[in-house]
Amino acid sequence: MVNWFSSKGVKTTSCSDSIRSWLSEQGIQESRDTLIEGGRELRRRGGAGILAEMLLESLGGEDAVIDSIRTPGEVEALRERSDFILIEIRAGVDSRWKRSQDRGRIGDPTEKAKF
């Protein structure tokens, strides 16, 4: 779904991008563990909606499709925009695993058992 919007020229981003940005600012190398710990630290400091709040700030009012929304706090933060629309998409483990492997992002598990 995100790829479809991207192919139509819509900006796409992820709540995890907030963590990646913070890790980079802190000089911390991105890995699965640092993404998890970075997310925990940011939520500890800024509350449950901090990742979405950081994205909204970086978007500056620009329209975008945001994926990897994980917590109700992130949804609440995004609802601050009057034009926010939430679409839930569920995918099975096999299709999520395949996408993860195709994307090859740093921090993604390389073993299905750890996925």
Query: Could you tell me the mean pLDDT of each successive run of 10 residues in the chain, 115 residues long?
Result: 92 96 97 94 98 96 93 96 92 85 79 78
Phi, psi of 89 (to 5 degrees): -125, 125
Residue 99's pLDDT is what? 81
Residue 111's pLDDT is what? 80
> In whole angstroms, what is the distance from residue 7 CA to residue 34 CA?
30
- All domains of the chain, ordered by start, with CATH? 2-103 (3.40.50.300)
Residue 12's pLDDT is what? 96
> In whole angstroms, what is the distance from residue 74 CA to residue 9 CA?
24
E strand or H helix at 66: strand 65-67
